[in-house]
Amino acid sequence: MDEKLRLLAVLNSMQKILHDDLAQAVSSSPARAVFLALLTEDLARTAGRAQIVAAGKLEETEAHTLREEPLARLQEVHRDLAAFIGGSTSLPDDQRNAPGTKMLFKDATELVKDQLQLSFAQAKHRIIVHDLLLPHAGFNGSVVPPRFGQLASVFNDGSADPHQVALAARRMLALQPGIDAQQDPVATAAAIEQQLAESLADRNTAGTAQLFKRFCAELDACALERSEAEMEAHVGLRYKGKQSRGFIWELCTDLRGHEMLQKLSDQLSNPRSAFGRDATSPAGDSNGQQPGEYAGGQPELPGLSTGPLSPAAHLIPPWAVDPDMPEDQRPRAGFTDVGLPGSAEDQMPGLQLQPGETPAAARERLKARSLLQFLFDSARFVADGDQEAAPDLPMRPNVELIVTISWDSLIGKLNDPGITSHNHLVSAGYARRLACSANVIPAVLGTESQPLDLGRTQRFFNRAQRRAMMLRDRGCINPGCSMAGHRCEANHIKPWYLGGETNLANGALLCPACHASFHAGHFKIVVVNSIPYVLQNKARDPEQRLRRNWIFHPRAKAIG
206-259 residue pLDDT tens? 888 888 888 887 787 666 677 777 777 788 888 888 788 777 888 888 877 787
Stretch 340-356: mean pLDDT: 55
The torsion angle over the Cα atoms of residues 306, 303, 298 and 466, rounded to 10 degrees, is 180
pLDDT tier at 538 (50, 70, 90 boundaries)? confident
Is 82 within the bounds of a domain?
yes
Residue bearing the bigger pLDDT, 89 or 223: 89
Is 473 within the bounds of a domain?
yes
Residue bearing the bigger pLDDT, 206 or 327: 206
DSSP, res 485 = G
Domain that holds residue 427: 403-434
Say if residue 415 is in the same domain as residue 521.
no
Task: Report how far residue 386's alpha carbon sits from residue 304's, in angstroms, rounded to the nearest whole number.
Answer: 19
Which residue blocks in 359-511 are alpha helix, DSSP H?
Answer: 359-383, 407-410, 428-434, 463-473
Residue bearing the bigger pLDDT, 355 or 66: 66
Is 356 within the bounds of a domain?
no
Say if residue 430 is in the same domain as residue 540.
no
Say if residue 46 is in the same domain as residue 188.
yes
Is the pLDDT score of 124 beyond 90?
yes
418-458 residue pLDDT tens? 777 666 777 777 666 665 444 544 433 333 333 344 444 56
Say if residue 408 is in the same domain as residue 530.
no
Is 324 within the bounds of a domain?
no
Is 276 within the bounds of a domain?
no
379, 397 in Cβ contact below 8 A? Answer: no
Could you give the percent of the chain with pLDDT greater than 90?
15
Say if residue 518 is in the same domain as residue 554.
yes
Could you give the percent of the chain with pLDDT greater than 70?
69
pLDDT confidence of residue 28:
83
Sign of CA dihedral 467, 472, 478, 480: positive
pLDDT confidence of residue 389:
45
Which residue blocks in 61-175 are alpha helix, DSSP H?
Answer: 68-79, 81-86, 108-115, 120-133, 149-157, 162-174
pLDDT tier at 133 (50, 70, 90 boundaries)? very high
Is the pLDDT score of 313 beyond 60?
no
Residue bearing the bigger pLDDT, 85 or 230: 85
Task: Report how far residue 133's alpha carbon sits from residue 127's, in angstroms, rounded to the nearest whole number.
Answer: 10
400-415 residue pLDDT tens? 566 666 656 656 666 6
Asked which of 222, 244, 279 is the last residue of a domain, the reply is 222
Count of structural domains within the chain: 3
Of 146, 144, 59, 70, the closest CA to residue 109 belongs to 59
Say if residue 216 is in the same domain as residue 181.
yes
pLDDT confidence of residue 309:
38
Is 396 within the bounds of a domain?
no
Say if residue 410 is in the same domain as residue 456.
no
pLDDT tier at 347 (50, 70, 90 boundaries)? very low
pLDDT confidence of residue 303:
38
Say if residue 53 is in the same domain as residue 76.
yes
What is the average pLDDT score of the chain? 75
192, 172 in Cβ contact below 8 A? Answer: yes
Which residue blocks in 220-281 are alpha helix, DSSP H?
Answer: 223-232, 255-269
pLDDT confidence of residue 148:
92
351, 271 in Cβ contact below 8 A? Answer: no
How many other C-beta atoms are found inside a 10 Å radius of the C-beta of residue 551? Answer: 23
Is 92 within the bounds of a domain?
yes
pLDDT confidence of residue 351:
65
Say if residue 407 is in the same domain as residue 543.
no
Say if residue 427 is in the same domain as residue 450.
no
Residue bearing the bigger pLDDT, 458 or 135: 135
How many other C-beta atoms are found inside a 10 Å radius of the C-beta of residue 252? Answer: 16
What angle in degrees, to the nearest 10, is found between the helix axes of 149-157 and 185-202? 20
pLDDT tier at 543 (50, 70, 90 boundaries)? confident
Asked which of 181, 206, 222 is the last residue of a domain, the reply is 222
Is 214 within the bounds of a domain?
yes
Asked which of 222, 249, 275 is the last residue of a domain, the reply is 222
185-193: long-range contacts at Cβ-Cβ below 8 A with a sequence spacing of 24 or more? 190/150, 193/148, 193/149, 193/150, 193/151
| CA atoms in the 13 A half-sphere facing the CB of 343 | 5
Query: Is residue 66 helix, strand or coil?
Result: strand
Say if residue 492 is in the same domain as residue 559.
yes
Say if residue 124 is in the same domain as residue 180.
yes
Residue type for 188, please?
Answer: T
Stretch 158-166: mean pLDDT: 89
pLDDT confidence of residue 533:
94
pLDDT confidence of residue 317:
57
DSSP, res 379 = H
103, 64 in Cβ contact below 8 A? Answer: yes
CA distances from 389 to 169, 358, 396, 455 (A): 59, 43, 12, 36
